[in-house]
Amino acid sequence: MKKIMKINVIFVLCFIIMITAPLLCINRTKNKLSVTENRYLASFPKILDEVGRISKDFPASFNAWIKDNIGFREFFVKMNTSINYDIFKTSPNPLVKIGKDDWYFYNNDYNLEIAYGKYPLTEEMLVAIKNEQESIQKALAKRGIEYVLVLTPSKVSIYPEEIAEANFEIRETPMDIVARYLKENTTIKVINTKGEVLKAKENGQQVFFKTDTHWNDEGAYIGYKYTVNELNRFGIINSLPASIEQVQATYRGEFSAIMGDATLLPEENYNATKIVSPSASEIQNKQLLDLIYREQKNDNYLSNGNYTYINPSLKGPKILMYGDSFFGRWKIPELFAENSSEFTYVWSDRIKNSIVDEVRPNVVVFERTERYITTLLKQADPLLIYGKLKDPSAEIISHNTPVEVKHGEKYNIDITVKNTTNEVLSKKRNIGLCIWQDGQDRGYRVNFPDDFELKPNEEYTFTLHDFQAPSGNATYLEYQMVEEGITYFGEKERVDINVQ
């Protein structure tokens, strides 16, 4: 009997250790890098919001933190990866699709739908892309800056035949459709690199990594070379593509890490690019880099590789390039620096007015890879398109703010504002009504409707929905117009409120 009790006690202790050890060994390091997955783990979330209430995002964020940081997590991730991949021959992560002949494909952002012919690109979206891209072109042209759009192909556009479970062939894909539409309906200079990359593939070159979503150095050089030749044809630059030599190298693709084990797939042999007798050199412009990082943070865009080069062998032009991971790596910034007196690369999907003002380029090149092509319809920086308000002013005409409120009850408050400027106010210009509480701007905004414009001397009534009293027996609200990121402007109205 004692023996059975002893076994039961041991069993219970082992069970307690099994369920508590992962919690006791939980990761407490902020922004820890997961080597197996090649990403930063979720950080512990804020419990309270700006007004002292439990954050509505806390439960989901806390759950994500627990999942990412529980003790022994990396061991179990690797074990799960090994079981799925080695035993069941399936991808441990749905983001990676196993193809034919050791090819792998990214299964997110509608990437595979490009090959299927089901990528969500409608006529309305094409019109929106046209309008946004033309607005950027016109805004830059007013400053004497050329605008060039470069499109790079997704892997599935070049190697559709390697996708498993179907017989896909080379076809017209979204980048072809967008490039043709813009060329037919605008004067924007569009460079479609897909054709040249396909030619190289047909000539026997491997232009993409098998275990990664990106092109390799050979594919990247082809894209660079074609872009430079087109820029020469447009009369924007007057220099030949940089000469290179190829160096044998190895590369471990990102799909291993995405599937849960950075060493899961073997390294690939490839021909790395080495520039012959480079003339450009990288410089550390701290003021510019700090500005770029601030803008990336404001746009919730992860700071990646941002570079500035100078090339004393050329008199011009000065090029500012925006791009993603297809142009941000694979020696492409260094290569383009050989064709510019000063070259700045910004890893972002939005051209910012502040960076254009700081760099003062002759040319802005904007690159998008195919699966992200719909980001071309993303609203441009209002300051780039419209500039700052020249004489910002507004008048608070009326409001119906209650002077007494009860805890737990919700109130709708109407605030009527008159535009006393000589310019149009709108949401597109990042202009709205700021609600201050107890002397602080906590980020509360009431915006104009998307397509609404408030013309000079006209009035508009904003509605603050579901206002609730904070803890305490008193508070006060203030109303004032704001040009986001620039200035508060116009009359500021204060209302003291008793809380019952």
* CATH number for position 416: 2.60.40.10
* Strand 96-98, strand 104-106: pairing: antiparallel
Q: What is the pTM of this model?
A: 0.81
Between CA 99 and CA 97 the distance in angstroms is: 6
The answer on 164 and 44 residing in a single domain is no
Residue 267 carries which DSSP code? P
Give the rounded percent of residues in the chain with a pLDDT score beyond 90.
75
Q: Examine the pLDDT at 35 and tell me if it is beyond 50.
A: no
The answer on 445 and 476 residing in a single domain is yes
What is the reported pLDDT for 401? 97
User: Domain range holding 467?
Assistant: 394-499
The answer on 435 and 352 residing in a single domain is no
What is the reported pLDDT for 30? 64
Q: Examine the pLDDT at 72 and tell me if it is beyond 60.
A: no
The answer on 239 and 151 residing in a single domain is yes
The answer on 456 and 361 residing in a single domain is no
What is the reported pLDDT for 461? 98
**Residue 127 falls inside a structural domain:** yes
**Residue 78 falls inside a structural domain:** no
pLDDT digits (tens, 9 = 90+) for 251-298: 999 999 999 888 999 999 999 999 999 999 999 999 999 999 999 888
**Which segment of 170-174, 302-306, 411-415, 459-463 scores lowest on mean pLDDT?**
302-306
**Residue 486 falls inside a structural domain:** yes
Residue 42 carries which DSSP code? P
Tokens 């090149």 correspond to: 365
Q: Examine the pLDDT at 299 and tell me if it is beyond 70.
A: yes
The answer on 21 and 146 residing in a single domain is no
The answer on 403 and 330 residing in a single domain is no
Reported as a pLDDT band with limits 50, 70 and 90, residue 373 is very high
Q: Which residue has the higher pLDDT, 385 or 166?
A: 385
Segment 373-377 mean pLDDT? 95
What is the reported pLDDT for 313? 96
Segment 326-351 mean pLDDT? 97
Cα–Cα distance list, 29 to 44, 68, 189, 367, 441 (Å): 10, 12, 48, 36, 32
The answer on 417 and 316 residing in a single domain is no
**Residue 76 falls inside a structural domain:** no
* Strand 363-369, strand 146-152: pairing: parallel
The answer on 374 and 299 residing in a single domain is yes
Q: Could you tell me where the beta strands, DSSP code E, fall in 285-430?
A: 307-310, 318-323, 342-347, 363-369, 394-399, 404-405, 411-419, 425-426
**Residue 172 falls inside a structural domain:** yes
What is the reported pLDDT for 148? 98
Q: How many CA atoms lie within 13 A of 438 on its CB side?
A: 11
Closest CA to 147 of 280, 60, 236: 236
Here the tokens at position 85 are 């991949």
Amino acid at 65: W
Closest CA to 437 of 46, 47, 49, 45: 49
Between CA 346 and CA 321 the distance in angstroms is: 6
Reported as a pLDDT band with limits 50, 70 and 90, residue 167 is confident
**Residue 79 falls inside a structural domain:** no
Q: Examine the pLDDT at 55 and tell me if it is beyond 90.
A: no
Q: Are 155 and 371 in contact (CB under 8 A)?
A: no
Q: Examine the pLDDT at 424 and tell me if it is beyond 50.
A: yes
1 Cβ partners below 8 Å, 6+ apart? none
Q: Examine the pLDDT at 365 and tell me if it is beyond 90.
A: yes
Here the tokens at position 144 are 């004497």
Task: Tell me how many domains the chain contains.
Answer: 3
The answer on 436 and 377 residing in a single domain is no
**Residue 263 falls inside a structural domain:** yes
The answer on 458 and 381 residing in a single domain is no
Between CA 82 and CA 78 the distance in angstroms is: 6
Segment 303-321 mean pLDDT? 93
Tokens 């999907």 correspond to: 349
pLDDT digits (tens, 9 = 90+) for 210-249: 999 999 999 999 999 999 999 999 999 999 999 999 999 9
Q: Looking at 99-154, list the stretches that DSSP marks H as alpha helix, in order from N- to C-terminal side.
A: 111-116, 123-141
What is the reported pLDDT for 404? 95
What is the reported pLDDT for 449? 96
Q: Which residue has the higher pLDDT, 480 or 72?
A: 480
**Residue 81 falls inside a structural domain:** no
What is the reported pLDDT for 303? 66
- Which of 326, 358, 385 is at the close of a domain? 385
In DSSP notation, 143-205 reads TT-EEEEEEE--HHHH-GGGSTTS-------HHHHHHHHHHHH---EEEE-HHHHHHHHHTT-
**Which segment of 18-22, 65-69, 99-103, 378-382 scores lowest on mean pLDDT?**
18-22
What is the reported pLDDT for 178? 98
The answer on 257 and 120 residing in a single domain is yes
Residue 419 carries which DSSP code? E
With 0-12 / 13-18 / 19 or more C-beta atoms within 10 angstroms meaning exposed / middle / buried, residue 303 is middle
Tokens 């939980």 correspond to: 26
